[in-house]
Amino acid sequence: MAWPNFLQCAVCGHQQPYEPFVPAVCQACGAQWLLPNYDFKAFKREILRGLPGRPSNLWRYQDVLPLKNPAALDLYPAGGTPLWLSQRFAPALGHSRVYIKDERFGPTSSFKDRQAAVAVAAMSEGGVREAVIASTGNAAVAYAAACARAGIKLWVFMTSLVPQEKLREAALFGAEVIRVSGNYDQTKQIAAQFAQRRHLLLDRGASSVPARESMKTIAYEIVEQLGWRAPDWYIQAVSGGLGPLGVYQGFKELFDMGLIERIPKLAIVQAEGCSPMVQAFKAGKEVADPVVPDTCIIILSTGDPGKTYTYLWNIIQQHGGAMESVTDAEAFAAMRSLAKSEGMAVEPAAAVAFAGLEKMVKNGTIGADETVVVNCSGHTFPVEKHVLGEQFAVDVHLSEGQTPAPREGLLAALENLDEKTTTVLVVDDNDDDALLIRRLLEGRKAYRVQHARDGWEGLAQARQTLPDLIVTDLMMPGIDGFGLVEELKLDPRTKDIPIVVVSAKDITPEERARLNGYIEAVYQKSSLTPRKFVEQVVQVIEEEKGTKENAHGI
Protein backbone atom coordinates (compact mmCIF):
# COMPACT_ATOMS: atom_id res chain seq x y z
CA MET A 1 0.00 0.00 0.00
CA ALA A 2 1.42 3.39 -1.03
CA TRP A 3 -1.39 5.69 0.12
CA PRO A 4 0.12 8.88 1.61
CA ASN A 5 0.10 8.98 5.40
CA PHE A 6 -0.68 12.69 5.14
CA LEU A 7 0.07 15.81 3.12
CA GLN A 8 2.54 18.30 4.57
CA CYS A 9 2.68 21.93 3.51
CA ALA A 10 6.13 22.86 2.19
CA VAL A 11 5.55 26.46 3.30
CA CYS A 12 4.22 26.26 6.87
CA GLY A 13 4.60 22.56 7.76
CA HIS A 14 0.88 21.98 8.40
CA GLN A 15 -0.24 18.35 8.02
CA GLN A 16 -3.63 17.26 6.65
CA PRO A 17 -5.19 14.10 5.16
CA TYR A 18 -4.71 13.32 1.49
CA GLU A 19 -7.93 13.51 -0.53
CA PRO A 20 -7.68 12.37 -4.16
CA PHE A 21 -9.16 14.64 -6.85
CA VAL A 22 -9.37 17.58 -4.44
CA PRO A 23 -7.05 20.53 -5.21
CA ALA A 24 -4.09 20.28 -2.82
CA VAL A 25 -4.35 23.51 -0.84
CA CYS A 26 -2.97 23.98 2.68
CA GLN A 27 -5.84 24.37 5.14
CA ALA A 28 -3.62 26.54 7.36
CA CYS A 29 -1.88 29.03 5.04
CA GLY A 30 -3.49 28.49 1.62
CA ALA A 31 -0.26 27.39 -0.08
CA GLN A 32 -0.59 24.97 -3.02
CA TRP A 33 2.65 23.05 -2.45
CA LEU A 34 1.69 20.07 -0.33
CA LEU A 35 3.95 17.03 -0.18
CA PRO A 36 2.71 13.48 0.41
CA ASN A 37 4.38 11.54 3.22
CA TYR A 38 4.94 7.81 2.67
CA ASP A 39 6.69 5.03 4.57
CA PHE A 40 10.14 6.10 3.32
CA LYS A 41 11.97 3.84 5.79
CA ALA A 42 10.34 0.74 4.31
CA PHE A 43 10.98 1.97 0.78
CA LYS A 44 14.65 2.65 1.53
CA ARG A 45 15.01 -0.95 2.74
CA GLU A 46 13.58 -2.12 -0.62
CA ILE A 47 16.02 0.12 -2.50
CA LEU A 48 18.97 -1.25 -0.53
CA ARG A 49 17.77 -4.76 -1.41
CA GLY A 50 17.96 -3.77 -5.09
CA LEU A 51 14.18 -3.47 -5.65
CA PRO A 52 13.87 -7.18 -6.48
CA GLY A 53 11.14 -8.24 -8.89
CA ARG A 54 10.25 -4.68 -9.80
CA PRO A 55 9.32 -3.68 -13.39
CA SER A 56 11.71 -1.50 -15.36
CA ASN A 57 9.29 1.43 -15.58
CA LEU A 58 7.93 4.07 -13.19
CA TRP A 59 5.91 1.48 -11.25
CA ARG A 60 9.27 0.30 -9.95
CA TYR A 61 8.80 3.12 -7.41
CA GLN A 62 5.11 2.53 -6.67
CA ASP A 63 5.81 2.63 -2.91
CA VAL A 64 6.01 6.43 -3.17
CA LEU A 65 3.13 7.04 -5.60
CA PRO A 66 -0.38 7.91 -4.34
CA LEU A 67 -2.31 4.69 -5.00
CA LYS A 68 -3.94 2.39 -2.46
CA ASN A 69 -3.42 -0.91 -4.25
CA PRO A 70 -1.41 -0.72 -7.50
CA ALA A 71 -1.34 -4.51 -7.75
CA ALA A 72 -5.12 -4.52 -8.32
CA LEU A 73 -4.89 -2.20 -11.35
CA ASP A 74 -4.01 -2.83 -14.98
CA LEU A 75 -1.21 -0.28 -14.80
CA TYR A 76 -0.39 1.73 -17.92
CA PRO A 77 3.35 1.42 -18.70
CA ALA A 78 5.42 4.59 -18.72
CA GLY A 79 8.91 5.60 -17.63
CA GLY A 80 11.90 3.31 -17.64
CA THR A 81 13.44 5.49 -20.35
CA PRO A 82 17.16 5.31 -21.25
CA LEU A 83 19.88 7.70 -20.10
CA TRP A 84 22.41 8.33 -22.86
CA LEU A 85 25.83 9.94 -22.59
CA SER A 86 26.01 12.60 -25.31
CA GLN A 87 28.58 11.43 -27.83
CA ARG A 88 28.90 14.45 -30.14
CA PHE A 89 26.45 17.27 -29.33
CA ALA A 90 27.86 18.16 -25.89
CA PRO A 91 31.54 17.40 -26.68
CA ALA A 92 31.28 19.91 -29.54
CA LEU A 93 30.44 22.48 -26.85
CA GLY A 94 33.52 21.46 -24.86
CA HIS A 95 31.59 19.34 -22.35
CA SER A 96 31.98 15.58 -21.97
CA ARG A 97 29.65 14.83 -19.06
CA VAL A 98 26.20 15.57 -20.44
CA TYR A 99 23.58 12.83 -20.23
CA ILE A 100 20.30 12.79 -22.13
CA LYS A 101 17.21 11.43 -20.35
CA ASP A 102 15.39 10.21 -23.43
CA GLU A 103 11.66 10.50 -22.73
CA ARG A 104 10.85 9.76 -26.37
CA PHE A 105 10.59 6.10 -25.38
CA GLY A 106 7.21 6.48 -23.63
CA PRO A 107 3.92 5.11 -25.04
CA THR A 108 3.17 8.41 -26.81
CA SER A 109 6.81 9.56 -27.00
CA SER A 110 6.80 12.29 -24.35
CA PHE A 111 7.53 12.70 -20.64
CA LYS A 112 3.83 13.46 -20.11
CA ASP A 113 3.23 9.71 -20.35
CA ARG A 114 4.38 9.52 -16.72
CA GLN A 115 1.83 12.08 -15.62
CA ALA A 116 -0.95 10.35 -17.53
CA ALA A 117 -0.02 6.90 -16.18
CA VAL A 118 -0.23 7.89 -12.52
CA ALA A 119 -3.16 10.29 -12.88
CA VAL A 120 -5.28 7.82 -14.87
CA ALA A 121 -4.38 4.98 -12.47
CA ALA A 122 -5.67 7.18 -9.64
CA MET A 123 -8.84 7.86 -11.65
CA SER A 124 -9.40 4.15 -12.23
CA GLU A 125 -8.86 3.37 -8.56
CA GLY A 126 -11.30 6.14 -7.62
CA GLY A 127 -14.01 4.96 -10.02
CA VAL A 128 -13.78 8.00 -12.33
CA ARG A 129 -15.23 7.21 -15.76
CA GLU A 130 -15.11 10.64 -17.44
CA ALA A 131 -12.58 13.49 -17.12
CA VAL A 132 -11.47 16.82 -18.58
CA ILE A 133 -7.99 18.17 -19.31
CA ALA A 134 -6.61 21.36 -20.85
CA SER A 135 -3.26 20.99 -22.59
CA THR A 136 -0.79 22.58 -24.97
CA GLY A 137 -0.32 19.22 -26.70
CA ASN A 138 1.74 16.44 -25.13
CA ALA A 139 -0.37 15.94 -22.00
CA ALA A 140 -3.54 15.72 -24.08
CA VAL A 141 -2.11 12.94 -26.23
CA ALA A 142 -0.67 11.06 -23.24
CA TYR A 143 -3.93 11.25 -21.28
CA ALA A 144 -5.97 10.26 -24.34
CA ALA A 145 -3.91 7.08 -24.77
CA ALA A 146 -3.98 6.18 -21.07
CA CYS A 147 -7.71 6.89 -20.79
CA ALA A 148 -8.39 4.75 -23.88
CA ARG A 149 -6.77 1.78 -22.18
CA ALA A 150 -8.60 2.47 -18.90
CA GLY A 151 -12.00 2.95 -20.57
CA ILE A 152 -12.31 6.54 -19.34
CA LYS A 153 -13.96 9.13 -21.57
CA LEU A 154 -11.69 12.15 -21.93
CA TRP A 155 -12.52 15.69 -22.98
CA VAL A 156 -9.42 17.47 -24.27
CA PHE A 157 -9.31 21.27 -24.54
CA MET A 158 -6.48 22.68 -26.64
CA THR A 159 -5.84 26.07 -28.16
CA SER A 160 -6.31 26.19 -31.92
CA LEU A 161 -2.64 27.21 -32.19
CA VAL A 162 -1.54 23.69 -31.19
CA PRO A 163 -0.23 21.83 -34.27
CA GLN A 164 -2.98 19.87 -35.99
CA GLU A 165 -0.92 16.69 -35.59
CA LYS A 166 -1.24 16.88 -31.81
CA LEU A 167 -5.01 17.45 -32.00
CA ARG A 168 -5.42 14.59 -34.46
CA GLU A 169 -3.33 12.27 -32.31
CA ALA A 170 -5.52 12.92 -29.25
CA ALA A 171 -8.63 12.33 -31.36
CA LEU A 172 -7.12 9.13 -32.76
CA PHE A 173 -7.07 7.70 -29.22
CA GLY A 174 -10.79 8.43 -28.89
CA ALA A 175 -10.72 11.67 -26.90
CA GLU A 176 -13.33 14.37 -27.52
CA VAL A 177 -11.17 17.24 -28.78
CA ILE A 178 -12.30 20.83 -28.21
CA ARG A 179 -10.25 23.37 -30.14
CA VAL A 180 -10.43 26.82 -28.51
CA SER A 181 -9.57 29.93 -30.54
CA GLY A 182 -7.94 31.66 -27.59
CA ASN A 183 -4.67 31.40 -25.68
CA TYR A 184 -3.80 28.57 -23.31
CA ASP A 185 -4.87 30.38 -20.16
CA GLN A 186 -8.31 31.01 -21.68
CA THR A 187 -8.43 27.38 -22.74
CA LYS A 188 -7.83 26.30 -19.13
CA GLN A 189 -10.64 28.63 -18.06
CA ILE A 190 -13.24 27.20 -20.41
CA ALA A 191 -12.14 23.62 -19.62
CA ALA A 192 -12.67 24.28 -15.90
CA GLN A 193 -16.11 25.80 -16.53
CA PHE A 194 -17.08 22.88 -18.78
CA ALA A 195 -16.02 20.34 -16.14
CA GLN A 196 -17.98 22.22 -13.48
CA ARG A 197 -21.15 22.38 -15.61
CA ARG A 198 -21.00 18.65 -16.36
CA HIS A 199 -19.84 17.60 -12.87
CA LEU A 200 -16.71 15.98 -14.29
CA LEU A 201 -13.22 15.56 -12.87
CA LEU A 202 -10.81 18.25 -14.08
CA ASP A 203 -7.13 17.29 -14.09
CA ARG A 204 -5.36 20.31 -12.60
CA GLY A 205 -1.75 19.67 -13.62
CA ALA A 206 0.76 21.03 -11.13
CA SER A 207 -1.83 21.28 -8.32
CA SER A 208 -2.79 17.61 -8.78
CA VAL A 209 -0.90 15.33 -6.40
CA PRO A 210 -0.84 12.25 -8.73
CA ALA A 211 0.34 14.39 -11.67
CA ARG A 212 3.13 16.06 -9.73
CA GLU A 213 4.21 12.87 -7.97
CA SER A 214 4.59 11.09 -11.30
CA MET A 215 7.42 13.39 -12.33
CA LYS A 216 9.65 12.49 -9.40
CA THR A 217 10.13 9.06 -10.97
CA ILE A 218 12.42 10.79 -13.49
CA ALA A 219 14.76 11.68 -10.61
CA TYR A 220 14.66 8.15 -9.18
CA GLU A 221 15.54 6.69 -12.57
CA ILE A 222 18.38 9.16 -13.20
CA VAL A 223 19.98 8.43 -9.84
CA GLU A 224 19.65 4.67 -10.27
CA GLN A 225 21.00 4.83 -13.84
CA LEU A 226 24.02 6.88 -12.67
CA GLY A 227 24.85 4.20 -10.08
CA TRP A 228 23.00 5.91 -7.20
CA ARG A 229 24.72 9.22 -7.81
CA ALA A 230 23.10 12.60 -8.35
CA PRO A 231 24.09 14.85 -11.25
CA ASP A 232 25.22 18.41 -10.64
CA TRP A 233 22.56 19.86 -12.94
CA TYR A 234 19.11 18.86 -14.17
CA ILE A 235 17.89 20.83 -17.22
CA GLN A 236 14.36 20.99 -18.59
CA ALA A 237 12.38 23.28 -20.88
CA VAL A 238 9.12 24.33 -19.26
CA SER A 239 5.73 25.79 -19.97
CA GLY A 240 3.85 25.60 -16.67
CA GLY A 241 6.72 24.09 -14.66
CA LEU A 242 5.12 20.86 -13.41
CA GLY A 243 8.01 18.69 -14.65
CA PRO A 244 10.99 20.14 -12.77
CA LEU A 245 8.87 20.78 -9.68
CA GLY A 246 8.10 17.07 -9.48
CA VAL A 247 11.63 16.00 -10.46
CA TYR A 248 13.07 18.14 -7.67
CA GLN A 249 10.82 16.34 -5.18
CA GLY A 250 12.26 13.01 -6.27
CA PHE A 251 15.81 14.23 -5.73
CA LYS A 252 14.83 15.65 -2.33
CA GLU A 253 13.29 12.35 -1.20
CA LEU A 254 16.43 10.47 -2.21
CA PHE A 255 18.57 13.04 -0.38
CA ASP A 256 16.41 12.84 2.75
CA MET A 257 16.74 9.03 2.70
CA GLY A 258 20.52 9.44 2.60
CA LEU A 259 20.86 7.80 -0.81
CA ILE A 260 22.48 10.75 -2.64
CA GLU A 261 24.95 13.34 -1.42
CA ARG A 262 23.33 16.45 -2.92
CA ILE A 263 20.24 17.85 -4.58
CA PRO A 264 21.10 18.87 -8.16
CA LYS A 265 20.86 22.44 -9.36
CA LEU A 266 17.82 23.08 -11.56
CA ALA A 267 18.12 24.81 -14.93
CA ILE A 268 14.76 26.04 -16.21
CA VAL A 269 14.69 26.99 -19.90
CA GLN A 270 11.86 28.83 -21.68
CA ALA A 271 11.18 30.07 -25.18
CA GLU A 272 12.06 33.77 -25.27
CA GLY A 273 8.64 34.66 -26.65
CA CYS A 274 6.95 33.16 -23.59
CA SER A 275 9.38 33.44 -20.69
CA PRO A 276 7.60 34.90 -17.65
CA MET A 277 9.68 32.75 -15.29
CA VAL A 278 13.01 33.79 -16.81
CA GLN A 279 12.05 37.45 -16.84
CA ALA A 280 11.04 37.36 -13.17
CA PHE A 281 14.13 35.35 -12.19
CA LYS A 282 16.55 37.73 -13.87
CA ALA A 283 14.76 40.67 -12.25
CA GLY A 284 15.16 39.03 -8.83
CA LYS A 285 11.39 38.76 -8.37
CA GLU A 286 9.68 36.04 -6.36
CA VAL A 287 6.44 36.35 -8.36
CA ALA A 288 6.21 36.17 -12.15
CA ASP A 289 4.05 38.60 -14.11
CA PRO A 290 1.89 37.04 -16.85
CA VAL A 291 2.93 37.64 -20.46
CA VAL A 292 1.18 37.30 -23.81
CA PRO A 293 2.85 34.33 -25.58
CA ASP A 294 4.72 35.19 -28.76
CA THR A 295 6.43 31.97 -29.79
CA CYS A 296 5.75 29.41 -32.47
CA ILE A 297 6.69 26.65 -30.00
CA ILE A 298 3.10 26.41 -28.80
CA ILE A 299 3.75 23.55 -26.37
CA LEU A 300 5.66 26.07 -24.22
CA SER A 301 3.07 28.85 -24.37
CA THR A 302 1.81 29.16 -20.79
CA GLY A 303 1.75 32.89 -20.24
CA ASP A 304 0.93 32.77 -16.52
CA PRO A 305 2.93 30.20 -14.49
CA GLY A 306 1.25 31.26 -11.24
CA LYS A 307 2.69 29.99 -7.99
CA THR A 308 4.69 27.25 -9.68
CA TYR A 309 7.34 29.84 -10.54
CA THR A 310 7.56 30.97 -6.92
CA TYR A 311 8.13 27.40 -5.76
CA LEU A 312 10.85 26.88 -8.39
CA TRP A 313 12.41 30.25 -7.49
CA ASN A 314 12.63 29.21 -3.84
CA ILE A 315 14.16 25.84 -4.76
CA ILE A 316 16.88 27.53 -6.82
CA GLN A 317 17.59 30.01 -4.02
CA GLN A 318 18.13 27.07 -1.66
CA HIS A 319 19.97 24.56 -3.87
CA GLY A 320 21.33 26.63 -6.76
CA GLY A 321 20.41 26.76 -10.41
CA ALA A 322 19.43 29.13 -13.16
CA MET A 323 16.64 30.19 -15.50
CA GLU A 324 17.43 31.00 -19.12
CA SER A 325 15.53 31.73 -22.31
CA VAL A 326 16.37 31.00 -25.95
CA THR A 327 14.89 32.24 -29.19
CA ASP A 328 12.81 30.03 -31.44
CA ALA A 329 15.63 30.20 -34.00
CA GLU A 330 18.16 28.98 -31.41
CA ALA A 331 15.85 26.11 -30.49
CA PHE A 332 15.41 25.06 -34.12
CA ALA A 333 19.17 25.25 -34.65
CA ALA A 334 19.70 22.95 -31.65
CA MET A 335 17.02 20.63 -33.02
CA ARG A 336 18.91 20.26 -36.30
CA SER A 337 22.27 19.97 -34.56
CA LEU A 338 21.01 17.24 -32.22
CA ALA A 339 19.61 15.26 -35.13
CA LYS A 340 22.90 15.45 -37.04
CA SER A 341 25.19 14.80 -34.07
CA GLU A 342 23.26 12.29 -31.95
CA GLY A 343 20.77 10.88 -34.47
CA MET A 344 17.90 12.07 -32.27
CA ALA A 345 14.72 13.64 -33.68
CA VAL A 346 13.25 15.78 -30.90
CA GLU A 347 10.27 18.09 -30.67
CA PRO A 348 10.89 21.87 -30.59
CA ALA A 349 10.10 22.00 -26.85
CA ALA A 350 12.88 19.50 -26.14
CA ALA A 351 15.21 21.46 -28.41
CA VAL A 352 14.65 24.51 -26.19
CA ALA A 353 16.32 22.59 -23.32
CA PHE A 354 19.34 21.72 -25.49
CA ALA A 355 19.63 25.29 -26.74
CA GLY A 356 19.57 26.37 -23.10
CA LEU A 357 22.36 23.89 -22.30
CA GLU A 358 24.45 25.33 -25.14
CA LYS A 359 23.89 28.87 -23.88
CA MET A 360 24.71 28.06 -20.25
CA VAL A 361 27.85 26.13 -21.14
CA LYS A 362 29.10 28.98 -23.32
CA ASN A 363 28.43 31.68 -20.70
CA GLY A 364 30.04 29.64 -17.92
CA THR A 365 26.91 29.02 -15.86
CA ILE A 366 27.55 25.28 -16.19
CA GLY A 367 31.13 24.19 -15.55
CA ALA A 368 32.95 21.78 -17.87
CA ASP A 369 33.59 19.37 -14.98
CA GLU A 370 29.96 19.19 -13.84
CA THR A 371 27.67 16.25 -14.57
CA VAL A 372 24.54 17.38 -16.42
CA VAL A 373 21.28 15.61 -17.28
CA VAL A 374 19.00 17.13 -19.93
CA ASN A 375 15.38 16.05 -20.24
CA CYS A 376 14.70 15.17 -23.88
CA SER A 377 10.99 15.62 -23.32
CA GLY A 378 9.53 14.33 -26.56
CA HIS A 379 9.83 13.12 -30.16
CA THR A 380 8.79 14.82 -33.39
CA PHE A 381 5.91 12.37 -33.51
CA PRO A 382 3.96 12.46 -36.82
CA VAL A 383 0.30 11.49 -37.08
CA GLU A 384 -1.33 9.97 -40.14
CA LYS A 385 -3.56 12.79 -41.37
CA HIS A 386 -5.91 10.60 -43.37
CA VAL A 387 -7.09 8.33 -40.55
CA LEU A 388 -9.62 10.72 -39.04
CA GLY A 389 -10.71 13.03 -41.83
CA GLU A 390 -11.42 16.66 -41.00
CA GLN A 391 -14.20 16.39 -38.39
CA PHE A 392 -12.10 15.42 -35.38
CA ALA A 393 -12.54 18.48 -33.17
CA VAL A 394 -15.18 20.93 -32.01
CA ASP A 395 -14.30 24.62 -32.33
CA VAL A 396 -15.02 27.14 -29.58
CA HIS A 397 -14.31 30.83 -30.18
CA LEU A 398 -13.29 33.15 -27.34
CA SER A 399 -11.90 36.66 -27.12
CA GLU A 400 -8.36 37.54 -28.09
CA GLY A 401 -5.65 38.67 -25.69
CA GLN A 402 -4.30 37.34 -22.40
CA THR A 403 -7.18 38.55 -20.20
CA PRO A 404 -9.86 36.08 -19.07
CA ALA A 405 -12.68 35.65 -21.56
CA PRO A 406 -15.70 37.93 -20.93
CA ARG A 407 -18.28 36.11 -18.84
CA GLU A 408 -21.03 36.59 -21.43
CA GLY A 409 -18.82 35.21 -24.19
CA LEU A 410 -17.71 32.32 -22.02
CA LEU A 411 -21.26 31.31 -21.12
CA ALA A 412 -22.33 31.56 -24.74
CA ALA A 413 -19.38 29.40 -25.78
CA LEU A 414 -20.19 26.81 -23.13
CA GLU A 415 -23.86 26.66 -24.12
CA ASN A 416 -22.83 26.26 -27.75
CA LEU A 417 -20.34 23.58 -26.71
CA ASP A 418 -23.00 21.64 -24.78
CA GLU A 419 -24.98 21.36 -27.99
CA LYS A 420 -22.02 20.55 -30.25
CA THR A 421 -20.63 17.77 -28.10
CA THR A 422 -23.61 15.42 -28.17
CA THR A 423 -22.10 12.29 -29.73
CA VAL A 424 -24.09 9.61 -31.55
CA LEU A 425 -22.60 6.25 -32.55
CA VAL A 426 -24.29 4.60 -35.55
CA VAL A 427 -23.59 0.86 -35.87
CA ASP A 428 -24.72 -0.37 -39.29
CA ASP A 429 -23.03 -2.48 -41.96
CA ASN A 430 -24.99 -0.63 -44.65
CA ASP A 431 -22.89 2.45 -45.44
CA ASP A 432 -25.74 4.16 -47.30
CA ASP A 433 -28.15 3.84 -44.37
CA ALA A 434 -25.50 5.03 -41.92
CA LEU A 435 -24.56 8.00 -44.11
CA LEU A 436 -28.21 9.03 -44.45
CA ILE A 437 -28.72 8.93 -40.68
CA ARG A 438 -25.50 10.87 -40.18
CA ARG A 439 -26.44 13.62 -42.62
CA LEU A 440 -29.92 14.01 -41.21
CA LEU A 441 -28.65 14.13 -37.63
CA GLU A 442 -25.95 16.64 -38.44
CA GLY A 443 -28.49 18.70 -40.38
CA ARG A 444 -30.89 18.66 -37.42
CA LYS A 445 -28.27 19.80 -34.89
CA ALA A 446 -24.49 19.94 -34.58
CA TYR A 447 -24.25 16.36 -33.36
CA ARG A 448 -20.96 14.52 -33.64
CA VAL A 449 -21.78 11.29 -35.45
CA GLN A 450 -19.46 8.29 -35.44
CA HIS A 451 -19.91 5.18 -37.59
CA ALA A 452 -19.01 1.54 -36.92
CA ARG A 453 -19.55 -1.04 -39.68
CA ASP A 454 -20.16 -4.12 -37.52
CA GLY A 455 -21.03 -5.08 -33.96
CA TRP A 456 -17.49 -5.76 -32.79
CA GLU A 457 -16.25 -2.41 -34.09
CA GLY A 458 -19.29 -0.72 -32.53
CA LEU A 459 -18.61 -2.35 -29.16
CA ALA A 460 -14.97 -1.20 -29.21
CA GLN A 461 -15.91 2.36 -30.18
CA ALA A 462 -18.63 2.54 -27.54
CA ARG A 463 -16.23 1.44 -24.81
CA GLN A 464 -13.59 3.88 -25.97
CA THR A 465 -15.63 7.03 -26.70
CA LEU A 466 -18.68 6.52 -24.43
CA PRO A 467 -21.17 8.24 -26.80
CA ASP A 468 -24.37 9.92 -25.62
CA LEU A 469 -26.54 7.61 -27.79
CA ILE A 470 -26.10 4.45 -29.85
CA VAL A 471 -28.19 3.69 -32.94
CA THR A 472 -27.68 0.10 -34.07
CA ASP A 473 -28.97 -2.22 -36.75
CA LEU A 474 -29.94 -5.74 -35.72
CA MET A 475 -28.71 -7.76 -38.69
CA MET A 476 -24.92 -7.46 -39.01
CA PRO A 477 -22.01 -9.85 -39.59
CA GLY A 478 -20.03 -11.04 -36.58
CA ILE A 479 -21.83 -10.06 -33.42
CA ASP A 480 -25.36 -8.94 -34.34
CA GLY A 481 -27.40 -6.15 -32.77
CA PHE A 482 -28.82 -8.44 -30.09
CA GLY A 483 -25.36 -9.50 -28.95
CA LEU A 484 -24.11 -5.92 -29.13
CA VAL A 485 -26.92 -4.67 -26.87
CA GLU A 486 -26.32 -7.44 -24.35
CA GLU A 487 -22.55 -6.79 -24.27
CA LEU A 488 -23.12 -3.05 -23.80
CA LYS A 489 -25.48 -3.59 -20.90
CA LEU A 490 -23.11 -6.01 -19.16
CA ASP A 491 -20.26 -3.49 -19.21
CA PRO A 492 -20.38 -0.93 -16.33
CA ARG A 493 -18.83 1.67 -18.63
CA THR A 494 -21.58 1.48 -21.26
CA LYS A 495 -24.63 0.09 -19.45
CA ASP A 496 -26.27 3.52 -19.05
CA ILE A 497 -25.86 4.67 -22.68
CA PRO A 498 -29.33 4.82 -24.31
CA ILE A 499 -29.73 2.56 -27.36
CA VAL A 500 -32.10 2.87 -30.32
CA VAL A 501 -32.49 -0.25 -32.48
CA VAL A 502 -33.43 -0.19 -36.17
CA SER A 503 -34.09 -3.19 -38.36
CA ALA A 504 -34.88 -3.80 -42.02
CA LYS A 505 -36.84 -6.97 -41.20
CA ASP A 506 -39.92 -7.62 -39.12
CA ILE A 507 -39.09 -8.09 -35.45
CA THR A 508 -40.76 -11.10 -33.83
CA PRO A 509 -42.39 -10.94 -30.39
CA GLU A 510 -39.58 -13.15 -29.04
CA GLU A 511 -36.96 -10.73 -30.37
CA ARG A 512 -38.80 -7.76 -28.87
CA ALA A 513 -38.88 -9.56 -25.54
CA ARG A 514 -35.13 -10.14 -25.79
CA LEU A 515 -34.58 -6.40 -26.25
CA ASN A 516 -37.13 -5.30 -23.66
CA GLY A 517 -35.61 -3.28 -20.82
CA TYR A 518 -32.32 -2.81 -22.63
CA ILE A 519 -33.17 -0.18 -25.24
CA GLU A 520 -35.00 3.14 -25.54
CA ALA A 521 -36.88 2.39 -28.76
CA VAL A 522 -37.02 0.00 -31.70
CA TYR A 523 -37.92 1.00 -35.26
CA GLN A 524 -38.27 -0.76 -38.57
CA LYS A 525 -36.52 1.03 -41.40
CA SER A 526 -39.53 0.64 -43.67
CA SER A 527 -42.13 1.92 -41.16
CA LEU A 528 -40.87 5.52 -40.94
CA THR A 529 -39.44 8.00 -43.40
CA PRO A 530 -35.75 8.63 -42.68
CA ARG A 531 -36.48 12.20 -41.60
CA LYS A 532 -39.26 11.10 -39.23
CA PHE A 533 -36.98 8.43 -37.79
CA VAL A 534 -34.24 10.98 -37.12
CA GLU A 535 -36.76 13.30 -35.44
CA GLN A 536 -37.63 10.49 -33.05
CA VAL A 537 -33.94 9.75 -32.40
CA VAL A 538 -33.38 13.42 -31.57
CA GLN A 539 -36.32 13.25 -29.15
CA VAL A 540 -34.66 10.31 -27.35
CA ILE A 541 -31.42 12.31 -27.09
CA GLU A 542 -33.16 15.38 -25.68
CA GLU A 543 -35.16 13.29 -23.16
CA GLU A 544 -31.98 11.55 -22.01
CA LYS A 545 -30.17 14.90 -21.71
CA GLY A 546 -33.04 16.29 -19.64
CA THR A 547 -32.93 13.27 -17.35
CA LYS A 548 -29.20 13.75 -16.75
CA GLU A 549 -29.63 17.46 -16.03
CA ASN A 550 -32.41 16.78 -13.54
CA ALA A 551 -30.28 14.14 -11.85
CA HIS A 552 -27.48 16.70 -11.42
CA GLY A 553 -29.86 19.41 -10.25
CA ILE A 554 -29.09 21.68 -13.21
Domain residue limits at 496: 422-552
Looking at the structure, do residues 403 and 448 belong to the same domain, yes or no? no
Looking at the structure, do residues 548 and 431 belong to the same domain, yes or no? yes
pLDDT at 228: 96
CB 181 within 8 A of CB 424: no
pLDDT at 450: 85
Looking at the structure, do residues 404 and 513 belong to the same domain, yes or no? no
**3 state SS of 267:** strand
| Alpha-carbon Rg for the chain in angstroms | 25
- 103 domain-assigned: no
- 307 domain-assigned: no
pLDDT tens-digit readout, 108-128? 999 999 999 999 999 999 999
CB 2 within 8 A of CB 66: yes
- 399 domain-assigned: yes
- 125 domain-assigned: yes
Task: State the Cα–Cα distance between residues 414 and 200, nearest whole angstrom.
Answer: 14
- What CATH number is associated with residue 174? 3.40.50.1100
- 403 domain-assigned: yes
Tell which of 396, 413, 430 closes a domain.
413
Looking at the structure, do residues 430 and 546 belong to the same domain, yes or no? yes
pLDDT at 108: 92
User: Kind of pairing, strands 6-9 and 34-37?
Assistant: antiparallel
Looking at the structure, do residues 539 and 448 belong to the same domain, yes or no? yes
Q: Which residues of the chain have pLDDT under 70?
A: 1, 206, 381-421, 442-446, 524-554
pLDDT at 2: 79
Tell which of 413, 447, 463 closes a domain.
413
Looking at the structure, do residues 399 and 491 belong to the same domain, yes or no? no
Looking at the structure, do residues 401 and 439 belong to the same domain, yes or no? no
Looking at the structure, do residues 538 and 437 belong to the same domain, yes or no? yes
Looking at the structure, do residues 484 and 536 belong to the same domain, yes or no? yes
CB 141 within 8 A of CB 112: yes
- 57 domain-assigned: no
pLDDT at 491: 84
- 505 domain-assigned: yes
Total domains in the fold of the chain: 2
pLDDT at 188: 87
Looking at the structure, do residues 454 and 534 belong to the same domain, yes or no? yes
Looking at the structure, do residues 398 and 504 belong to the same domain, yes or no? no
pLDDT at 546: 63
- What CATH number is associated with residue 500? 3.40.50.2300
Looking at the structure, do residues 463 and 509 belong to the same domain, yes or no? yes
**3 state SS of 275:** coil
pLDDT at 295: 87
- 315 domain-assigned: no
Tell which of 380, 413, 446 closes a domain.
413
